[in-house]
A and B are shown apart, each in its own frame.
Chain A
């Protein structure tokens, strides 16, 4: 029946084409290519390709993302969310580095280089020892500290009933005081257009 709705546009994708574009790796390891890389190899590649932004120890330079540290800070006033402290799956680190890093020269890392960099990021987060070698075979054995830190959107239970009550229209509060002002912070860009208006 669905076949009848087909219009007959497009052509079949070839295996080489799918292999070139379908690079994603799922949490259960689906999509991981065969390969491996050590922490030591990773350190070398990381220093050469990544450290200028992310620091020699993945601790971040300036405003660039910190990839290590922040363990146990998620409930703090200023949580530090890194691969070690926050990311639930190692697959995401592999997939993202392989496809989108280095920033400005993405898709230049080989499979083994990617394994090595990910091993080095794990080491920088004190998740593995310095002699660790990451491969497609032991990939799922790595325990990510915040693997259980996520829940599926629960707004339908925790918020929507609470925010669906009849709205107050009159005499809703006794007093209203200003408690915070943006002008005091003064971080808004100046209105350059004003001079011309």
Chain B
């Protein structure tokens, strides 16, 4: 049976290759009549006569092996080692909006730690009525909320500031995932510790840190902490993955991924920002004149065409083509996405697969009839505040090329006549 399987894989590859070759010939002709009967139809295949796997084969399943290229990838030269490093979500191969946790990107500063629920403690201290310690079990007894949000690394697309560098949507835009979180609002936990004696809340902060060696401490203004910040323990229906903060992480809707502290161990109410390493040395954005922005928390509206793209070339030849991608904004819901096939000379409105949700990924589609000529594909997101995703030149006009973070520019893919696509910049 294994041998059959392999053979069938080989013939399928040959079939796909043949289809690419034949694509040109059938363009415009609609469905061509097959020259000879397809043996995949006329011959009984092994899966149509024998058994498949039993239900006790896979207590917790992985994707079928033919999808083995839909995986996180690392770019070695980006960081000094792979412990304080980043990998990338294969957004070029995904559809819809929910990111499968198993291939959702990771960013650690001292590795993905293993912290079991029994060993987990969350402390709330500082300017509160009563400092508290919670166990994991305590957290599950608070009233719960469910929300879908994107988590985008502040450095997503950061390698592209000075030009077109990495050749694939996974690498240029894959420091992002989008999950349905279940957890307790931070407001609920702060209320439990009590803010009665804290005084004026408008000038207060919370400092949040993780249980890992890097700690990843960040300061969050109290207004945000009491608004929509979530202390989450489930994502996409199941426990957080180890690498995403098991058993508890912070979810900070719309704000840069660094603030989504994993393995959350402490929340301290303070009367000033701590100005930790992750909000001074890092996650500050240097402008052309050498001054730097700090506290650039919100991720602005952004989008990218995920297919076609360098890792997802057009293999079917001219004719009907689905252009698809993702759009998101830290300021609220996506209201519209425009797509250009000529490098921004002309635009047409794409179709949102669903009404935009606040601070979550939106999927867009534009179905076209591709005539086989070159395209310069771009997408442009609009959010509910009226903000329109800018070009890279427009951003560089304001910031220069050294701000590292917060690159939400319009991306261009050069789709060639053979269907391959390349990351380019255009005038």
A interface, CB within 8 angstroms of B = 2-3, 5-7, 9-13, 17-18, 21-22, 24-28, 30, 62-65, 74-75, 77-79, 81, 83, 86-89, 91-92, 95-96, 99-100, 103-104, 106-107, 149-155, 158-160, 162-165, 167-173, 175-183, 185, 187-189, 191-194, 196-197
CB <8 Å contact, B215 and A99: yes
Question: Given A5-B191, A79-B286, A96-B276 in contact, is the A180-B196 Cβ separation under 8 Å?
Answer: no
CB <8 Å contact, B69 and A197: yes
Range of interface residues on B (Cβ < 8 Å): 35 or more
CB <8 Å contact, A167 and B133: no
Name B335-390 residues within 8 Å CB distance of A.
338, 342-348, 376, 380, 382, 385-390
Question: Given A150-B294, A152-B294 in contact, is the A75-B288 Cβ separation under 8 Å?
Answer: yes
Whole-angstrom CA separation of A18 from B325 in the bound complex: 47
**Further 17 A-B residue pairs, CB within 8 A, beyond A92-B277, A176-B344:** A21-B266, A25-B274, A27-B272, A27-B275, A74-B286, A81-B281, A88-B280, A91-B275, A100-B109, A150-B280, A153-B298, A162-B390, A167-B338, A172-B344, A179-B425, A181-B414, A187-B77
CB <8 Å contact, B387 and A164: yes
CB <8 Å contact, B167 and A6: no
Whole-angstrom CA separation of A196 from B426 in the bound complex: 34
Contacts A/B (CB < 8 Å), 20 sampled? A9-B192, A10-B133, A10-B134, A18-B131, A92-B280, A96-B277, A100-B215, A149-B291, A152-B293, A163-B389, A171-B346, A172-B344, A176-B345, A176-B426, A178-B425, A187-B75, A188-B75, A191-B69, A193-B69, A196-B69
Within 8 Å of chain A (Cβ to Cβ): is B290?
yes
Instruction: Give chain A residues whose Cβ lies under 8 Å from the Cβ of B307.
Output: none
> Which residue in chain B gives the minimum CB-CB distance to A13?
B131
A95 shortest CB reach to chain B, Å: 7
> Which residue in chain A gives the minimum CB-CB distance to B66?
A197
Name B401-425 residues within 8 Å CB distance of A.
401-402, 414, 422-425
Whole-angstrom CA separation of A30 from B141 in the bound complex: 35
Question: Given A64-B80, A151-B293 in contact, is the A103-B344 Cβ separation under 8 Å?
Answer: no
Within 8 Å of chain A (Cβ to Cβ): is B45?
no
A162 shortest CB reach to chain B, Å: 8
CB <8 Å contact, B79 and A9: no
Instruction: Give chain A residues whose Cβ lies under 8 Å from the Cβ of B76.
Output: 189
Instruction: Give chain A residues whose Cβ lies under 8 Å from the Cβ of B149.
Output: none
A140 shortest CB reach to chain B, Å: 14
A189 shortest CB reach to chain B, Å: 6
Whole-angstrom CA separation of A108 from B389 in the bound complex: 46
Question: Given A5-B191, A177-B427, A197-B66 in contact, is the A24-B290 Cβ separation under 8 Å?
Answer: no
Instruction: Give chain A residues whose Cβ lies under 8 Å from the Cβ of B344.
Output: 172-173, 176
Whole-angstrom CA separation of A150 from B71 in the bound complex: 39
The majority secondary structure among interface residues of chain A is: loop
B121 shortest CB reach to chain A, Å: 8
Chain A CB within 10 Å, residue with most, of B77, B192, B270: B192
CB <8 Å contact, B294 and A151: yes
A35 shortest CB reach to chain B, Å: 20
CB <8 Å contact, A87 and B280: yes
Whole-angstrom CA separation of A197 from B191 in the bound complex: 53
CB <8 Å contact, A24 and B286: no
Whole-angstrom CA separation of A170 from B281 in the bound complex: 43
The one of A3, A11, A65, A181 that contacts B422, using a Cβ cutoff of 8 Å: A181
Instruction: Give chain A residues whose Cβ lies under 8 Å from the Cβ of B275.
Output: 26-27, 88-89, 91-92
CB <8 Å contact, B270 and A26: yes
Instruction: Give chain B residues whose Cβ lies under 8 Å from the Cβ of A86.
Output: 281, 292
4 A-B pairs with least C-beta separation: A193-B69, A75-B290, A176-B343, A74-B290
Within 8 Å of chain A (Cβ to Cβ): is B214?
yes
Name B107-135 residues within 8 Å CB distance of A.
109-110, 123-126, 130-134
Name B48-80 residues within 8 Å CB distance of A.
65-66, 68-71, 73-77, 79-80
Within 8 Å of chain A (Cβ to Cβ): is B246?
no
> Which residue in chain A gives the minimum CB-CB distance to B346?
A170
The one of A11, A188, A193 that contacts B133, using a Cβ cutoff of 8 Å: A11
Instruction: Give chain A residues whose Cβ lies under 8 Å from the Cβ of B25.
Output: none
The one of B213, B295, B310, B343 that contacts A107, using a Cβ cutoff of 8 Å: B213
B300 shortest CB reach to chain A, Å: 7
Whole-angstrom CA separation of A5 from B167 in the bound complex: 53
Whole-angstrom CA separation of A6 from B413 in the bound complex: 54
Instruction: Give chain A residues whose Cβ lies under 8 Å from the Cβ of B130.
Output: 12
The one of A12, A104, A169, A197 that contacts B346, using a Cβ cutoff of 8 Å: A169
CB <8 Å contact, B274 and A26: yes
Instruction: Give chain B residues whose Cβ lies under 8 Å from the Cβ of A83.
Output: 281
Within 8 Å of chain A (Cβ to Cβ): is B239?
no
A134 shortest CB reach to chain B, Å: 18
Within 8 Å of chain A (Cβ to Cβ): is B174?
no
Within 8 Å of chain A (Cβ to Cβ): is B163?
yes
